[in-house]
Amino acid sequence: MNSKRPFLFVKNFKRLLVFFFLGFFVVCSSKAESYPAIKQQKLVRDPTDRIIAQEVAKLMELPGYTAISGVLYIKGKAHPFHFGKLSNGQKPNDHTIYEIGSIAKTYTGLLLSQAVYDNKIKLDDDVRSYLGDKYPNLVLSNNEPITFRHLITHTSGLPPVINCNNNGQTAHEQAACFEHFTKADFFKELKNVKITDQSGKNYHYSSVGIQLVGYILENVYHSSFDDLFKKYIFSRFGDRNVFSELKSKENAQASVGKNSKGEPMPLINGFYRYAGGLKTTTHSMLNYIRGCLESNDKVIKQMMTRLTGDVQYGRAYAWNTFNYNGADKMLYHNGGTLGHSSWIALYPDQKIGIFIVTNVVTANSQSKLNELSNSIINQIKS
């Protein structure tokens, strides 16, 4: 695949000084100049944008956070935001390309919902019947089959990964391994996988399970990854700025992430496209959020249906669910790569959605984005 084109389809950093309660930030415009905090505060006239600015500034006080981007969608209005500077010294904007990590799984959830809607598969089908070979290891206790419901809700007992996870492997070695790990390699390794929990009930996060869903969908639709995204993702959201393969040196818009030591990290390309290999922009994520919240599309509605777990903490088609029967029902997912952390949350009954991404991975960067999201949402809803 052309590394530049879209698909067809977690210290020791210098702390950012925060004057009063606002930091140096850029709100909504990639062309905004740097201003002293008091001047910037005066520029933020919209109450919602002011809340976002205040809360992001608190996070950027912590070591390592040098750039944060995102978008809040509420009441039919978008509030994009961009703070700090990227690793190349440039200010992020609506078209900066970030890795979104496991948020990619939600796209696979939508593809699976499409297949169920099209009667291509049934959620409780034995996945082995779609593999074209024997996999006697893919079975639960009492000889119960592993189903698509198990795979998409992380209850199959499959391990998190099956490749490129050797002890002592550097980040660059791991990224290179991902690039060269093929579909054939995946199915070869799948034959040797041991199910860690055969109950079929307990949550065990597995990128392997989601990747397997994606590969099966390619088979049932007789389509490539690119074609599936073109037909079932881009046709819905009208946006093509989502990438599976991208070289940061070849694209000036690509953000270079870093680890907790501030060391630059490679982008993940190739393998795990369905489970964590996507890169995109805040503008594209806005289209995704808006489409999920505003559409009457039956496949999208089905995607947000709770499939397992309880009403407090459950799981839909790859999405996590919270307070499912409540007025503040939330669907959410986080993402982490070698150098980026991200978060997305949807409040379908209130038509509110938020996406946040930063170019650093620390031990708690994903949970920090979760907290930031909650703080913003709680204030705008109060």
For 22, the 3-state DSSP assignment is strand
CA–centroid distance for 4 within its chain = 20
Residue 28's pLDDT is 36
In angstroms, the CA 335 to CA 361 distance is 10
Domains of the chain: 98-338 (3.40.710.10)
Comparing CA positions, the residue from 196, 194, 213 lying closest to residue 153 is 213
Tens digit of each residue's pLDDT, the chain (382 residues): 333 333 333 333 333 333 222 333 333 333 333 333 333 444 667 999 999 999 999 999 999 999 999 999 998 999 999 999 999 999 999 999 999 999 999 999 999 999 999 999 999 999 999 998 999 999 999 999 999 999 999 999 999 999 888 888 899 999 999 888 999 999 999 999 999 999 999 999 999 999 999 999 999 999 999 999 999 999 999 877 888 888 766 688 999 999 999 999 999 988 789 999 999 999 999 999 999 999 999 999 999 999 999 999 999 999 999 999 999 999 999 999 999 999 999 999 999 999 999 999 999 999 999 999 999 999 998 7
CB atoms inside a 10 Å sphere around CB 227: 15
Sign of CA dihedral 221, 207, 8, 334: positive
HEC assignment per residue over 203-254? CCCCHHHHHHHHHHHHHHHCCCHHHHHHHHHHHHHCCCCEECCCCHHHCCCE
Structure tokens at 49: 């944008």
First to last CA, the chain: 47
Would you say the C-alpha torsion 157, 162, 164, 169 has a positive or negative sign? positive
The Cα 352–Cα 74 span in angstroms is 5
* pTM: predicted TM-score of the whole model, two decimal places: 0.88
CA distances from 26 to 31, 83, 184 (A): 8, 5, 45
Exposure string for 152-166, b = 16+ CB within 10 A, e = fewer: bbbbbbbbebbbbee
DSSP structure string for 30-68:
TTPPP--HHHHHHH--SHHHHHHHHHHHHHTTSTT--EE
Q: Which residues pair with 73 in a beta bridge?
A: 78, 353
pLDDT for residue 109: 98
Confirm if 56 and 343 have CB atoms less than 8 A apart.
no
The Cα–Cα gap between 362 and 368 comes to 10
Which strands sit side by side in the sheet containing 77-84, from one edge to the other? 77-84, 67-74, 352-358, 341-347, 330-336, 320-322, 313-315, 308-309
Q: Where are the extended beta strands (E) located within the chain?
A: 67-74, 77-84, 98-101, 242-243, 278-280, 308-309, 313-315, 320-322, 330-336, 341-347, 352-358
Check: CB of residue 54 under 8 Å from CB of residue 22.
yes
